[in-house]
Amino acid sequence: MENEGRRKFLGVCVAGATAAAAVAAGYPVFRYLAPKSGQGGAAKLVIPVGELKEGDAKFFEFAGSSAVLIKTKSGELVALSAVCTHLGCIVQWVKEKQQFLCPCHGGQFSTDGTVLGGPPPRPLAKIPLTVTEGNITIG
């Protein structure tokens, strides 16, 4: 009986020590593999106004993801996430139609990101921008 108790106690101690060792070894491995927070690149970007003609689009990396800046034919500037809301492909700018087309499954978006057709469930996310002294500040 006494032996039984001792065995149980030792078993619990061994299990506890093993669990502690597993955590001590597993935590560094997890941290080593986990992407670092804030590793997404610049979250603010400045583009000169003259870099973009009317009806054109400029793709760039923004906060670790892809984004696009367009200047509509009416001269309005819009910054949007370039990641399709359907399955995450990068949309393409179709200049002739002045709209976005996702080449993966044919999703279509207007210049303000609204879904025009295809499977995307949501509009493209808008990114705030300001224009000062000939520079467009995105983000």
Partner 1 sequence: MLKRLYRWLDLRIGVGEIVEKELTGYLLPRNINEWYSLGSVLLVIFALQVITGMLLMIYYVPDADKAFKSVTFIMNEVPYGWLIRLCHAVGSNMMVAVLILHMLSTLLMGSYKAPRELNWVTGFTLLALVQGISLTGYLAPWSQLSFWATTVATNSASAVPVVGPYLVEFLRGGKLVGPPTLGRFFALHAAVLPVVIAAVIGAHLFLLKRTGISAPPFGREGTANPFEAQQYHYQGHPGGIPFFPNYVLQDLTSISIYFAVFLAVVFFWPGMPFTPDAFVPADPFKTPAHIKPEWYFLANYQTLKIFPSELLGLSVQAAAMTFLALLPFIDRSPERHPLKRPVFLTLVIAGILLWIALSVWGHLS
Residue 92 identity: Q
Determine, following the binding rule CB under 8 A, whether residue 1 of this chain makes contact with partner 1. no
CA torsion 40-46-50-54 (nearest 10°) is 50
Compare residues 21 and 49 and give the one whose CB is closer to partner 1.
21
Interaction mask 20-59, partner 1, x per CB under 8 A: --------xx-xxxx-x-----------------------
Size of the site for partner 1 (CB under 8 A): 7
CB nearer to partner 1: give 28 or 121: 28
Beta-bridged to residue 69, according to DSSP, are: 58, 79
The least distance separating partner 1 from the CB of residue 1, rounded to whole angstroms, comes to 21
The residue type of 75 is G
CB atoms within 10 A of CB 65: 15
Alpha-carbon distance of 2 to 56, in angstroms, equals: 83
Scanning residues 68 to 127, which ones bind partner 1 (CB under 8 A)?
none
| Interface with partner 1 (CB under 8 A) | 28-29, 31-34, 36
